[in-house]
Structure 1
Amino acid sequence: MGKNQGHTSSFQQLLRDAKLEAMAEFAAGAGHEINNPLATISGRVQLLLLNETDPQKRQSLKTIGGQVYRIRDMIGDAMLFGRPPQPVPEQLNMTDITADVQSRLQEQIEKSGCQIKLKCHPETPVWADPVQLSMVVSQLILNSLSASNQGGNILIECSPVIQQEQPFALFKVTDWGCGLTPEEAEHLFDPFYSGRQAGRGLGFGLSKCWQFVKLHGGEITFESKENQSTCFTVLLPAKEKCLLE
């Protein structure tokens, strides 16, 4: 039996949130500092290209320029994680958002060979920024596709629920793929952690999910059994002024 990696206790969540908030501050500050020398390097490369005629040297300069752009994109992700735009929430239906994202990801879903089952209440109100909410739903689905075996099954659920006597929207994505190792579970939302699986804990996808959900006054948790399954659960306010305490 795989070991269950459930991150649901309040104490664990407080520790995780404090660590991620500290990392967000570092990412935002470091991003500004790194961008300045990157701009200088990029400018010098462009100047050298203007006067360089040797094909081999031009190719080397273009390679340097390409890597500068790659670093700039990574820094952009870091800064977005560190200081994301404030959400502009509106009244939405979680079920409609889920169906729209699934439609946009249909090509990736078909290539994966996975079968997706939807179990969504037709009316699941949620108070959220449509762009940020779509990003969260998309990232969690893509994460499950990455972790699933060819032809695996993924279950997506959404329904209205009551938490602390307030209405919330519940969104869950479950896959029966490779699960998480204890180390991956510990660092899953860390923006700079690269784990065993390319789709899990790599880059800023799940980190941004955590940040966006937090900005909405919601909560994102997960449970995983190594080599068996992983389930992500997101709780978001169903209407304005609903907050988890």
Structure 2
Amino acid sequence: MKPRSLTFWLSAYLGLAGLLLFVLLGAGMWQSLRHLVGAAEADKAQALANQLAAVSVDAVLIRDYGAIERAVDDLVRSRGLAYVEIRRTDGVVLGQAGIASADNPAFAATMLAAGEPLGEVIAQYDSTPMRAAAWRLAVLTGGALALFSVIAFVVLRRLLAARLIAPVKTLIASVAPGATLHAAPADAPAEVHELAHALTDLETRIHTHITALEEANQAHNDALRRLCAEQRLATVGQMAGEVAHELNTPLANILGYAQLAQSQTPDAAVRESLDTIVAQARRAGQIVGDMLTVARAPALTNQAVDLAELARAFARLVAPLARRQGVSIEVAPGAAAPAWADASRIEQILFNLVTNATQAGAHRIQIVPSAGAMSVIDDGAGVPPAMQPRLFEAFVTSKLQGQGTGLGLAICRRLAEEMDGTLTFAESAPGHTRFQLNLPAPS
């Protein structure tokens, strides 16, 4: 069964209240009119009885019963009395007119002569005209009350619809999905304002809950992605040892014989093919080396190091190779930059970052050491925005197929974390990319 609306219930309650008010006021008005008309008729009958008793004394004393009869008949015909009777004290009826009825009230007046009672006058008025008049007045009054009730019902219903129902409907409409919750009108009742405040608080709590849920889901997805990456790294680590033993020797033989053939053949086309073999063999050796790095976890030898000196030594080491590729490596001048770290792992991290920058088209790479930190800045093409959130995940790379394994940055971050440090992607734009390595200070 469809629930009734608030408008229906308010209309029903107002209608019942109006009907009850109409009945109560009608009954009260009927009783009041009946009482007023009855009291007026009673006063009239009593006054006529008193008047007849006063004027009938002389007729009784002189025994003029004809005058008594005429007076009685006159009262019944012209004064609206239903019954009039005059009797002596001994019970003899001296005159009467009309018809006595037990339904009509009777009023008596004593006839006195020199203080002695001679008899009494009994008068009854006819209540039928009184009841008819009362009914007519009641009908008129009831009609007026009914009209007033209908007008009051319509006015109250419209006022409630405008001041209560309309604001509530506005609030209901604003609660719809995608809608903005509106404040209640300033002239709305206090209850509507309370309802609006409650809905606003509820909306705020729902949005907060949704935001927290989305953040929790995002954290869960990030954790799951990291777990998958760690599992993949673990799998690679388990396989790396066996794969390296199987591949290192054939790769070394291929590289050695290709280089030997390069030095012995004068044919340019053959030499070009041999160059391709040498390059691909070295590439395969690099991949095997990355896998071995994942598989092996050499003992950590943290010690007090000078990051500035490490950066300068690294720049001197790779400068010849960098110059052949058209890349300049600069170390920002400055004082000593102490840190607590493993020098070989820092060198491995720097080598990976410089290699990535070179492959991204950089021509100038700057290393900026400071106390407990080191920045690597290049002017390459930058990191695509879509890849930045997953940059340190295993097997994620922006290089072309066959040009990278996607393990380098994942390994570098792990090396930094093993030294109780962090490796972060700071910023990137075409012509400016910066990675930040933070390390603990010497103890």
Q: Scaled by the length of structure 2, what TM-score is found?
A: 0.38
1:157 maps to what in 2? Answer: 368
- Note the alpha carbon deviations across 1:62-112, whole angstroms, 9 max, x for none: xxxxx9998787455324224421311221100000000000011122123
Contact 1:184–1:201 (8 Å) recurs in 2: no
Query: Structure 1, residues 145-203: CA drift from partner, whole Å, max 9, x if none?
Result: 33234xx332221111xxxxxxxx11101112101113432443344334236899645
Unaligned runs of 5+ in 2: 1-218, 252-279
Aligned positions of 1:78-93 closer than 5 A = 78-93=291-306
2:311 counterpart letter in structure 1: T
* Matched residue, 2:233: 24
Counterpart residue identity of residue 80, structure 1: T
Task: Rate the CA distance shift 1:156–1:107 in 2: closer, same or farther, 3 A.
Answer: same
In the TM superposition, what is the alpha-carbon distance from 1:24 to its structure 2 partner? 2.5
Distance in 2 (alpha carbons) for counterparts of 1:12 and 1:124: 38
Q: 2:359 aligns with which of 139, 146, 159?
A: 146
Q: 2: distance between equivalents of 1:224 and 1:197?
A: 22
Hey, what does 2:378 align to over in structure 1?
175
Could you tell me which residue of structure 1 aligns to residue 392 of structure 2?
189
In the alignment, structure 1 residue 221 sits paired with structure 2 residue 440:
no
SS at match of 1:109: helix
SS in 1 for 2:331: strand
Equivalent residue letter for 1:130: A
How far apart, in 2, do the equivalents of 1:130 and 1:179 lie? 27
Mapped to 2, the partners of 1:145 and 1:172 lie a distance apart of: 16
TM-align CA RMSD: 3.8
The reply to whether residue 112 of structure 1 matches residue 321 of structure 2 is: no
Cα distance 1:35–1:114, how it changes in 2: closer, same or farther (>3 A)? closer
Task: Please give the per-residue CA displacement for 1:9-29, whole angstroms capped at 9, x wherever unaligned.
Answer: x99987775554333222222
Any runs of at least 4 consecutive aligned residues in structure 1 with deviations exceeding 6 A, and if so which?
10-16, 35-39, 67-73
Structure 1 unpaired stretches of 5+: 1-9, 43-66, 161-168, 241-245
Cα offsets for 1:112-149 (capped at 9, x unmatched): 33344432432111212222121112222232233234
Instruction: Report the Cα distance in structure 2 between the residues aligned to 1:181 and 1:187, rounded to whole angstroms.
Output: 11
Aligned-residue identity in percent: 23
**Counterpart in 2 of 1:232?**
435
Q: Cα–Cα, structure 1 residues 68 and 114, in superposed 2: closer, same or farther, change >3 Å? A: closer
Q: Which has the higher contact order (CA 8 A, sep 6+)?
A: 1
User: As a proportion of its length, which structure holds more helix?
Assistant: 2
Return closer, same or farther for 1:182/1:22 CA change in 2, 3 Å cut-off. Answer: farther
How far apart are residue 215 of structure 1 and its match? 0.8
Give secondary structure in 2 for the equivalent of 1:234: strand
Evaluate the alpha carbon distance shift between residue 189 and residue 155 of structure 1 in structure 2; reply closer, same or farther with a 3 A threshold. Answer: same
Q: Residue 233 of structure 2 aligns to which amino acid in structure 1? A: A
Range that drifts further, 86-95 or 219-228: 219-228
Q: State the alpha-carbon separation in 2 of the partners of residues 95 and 24 from structure 1.
A: 32
Secondary structure of the 1:233 match is: strand
Could you say if the C-alpha distance between residues 183 and 239 of structure 1 is closer, same or farther in structure 2, counting changes exceeding 3 Å? Answer: same
Between the aligned partners of 1:207 and 1:215, the Cα distance in structure 2 is 12
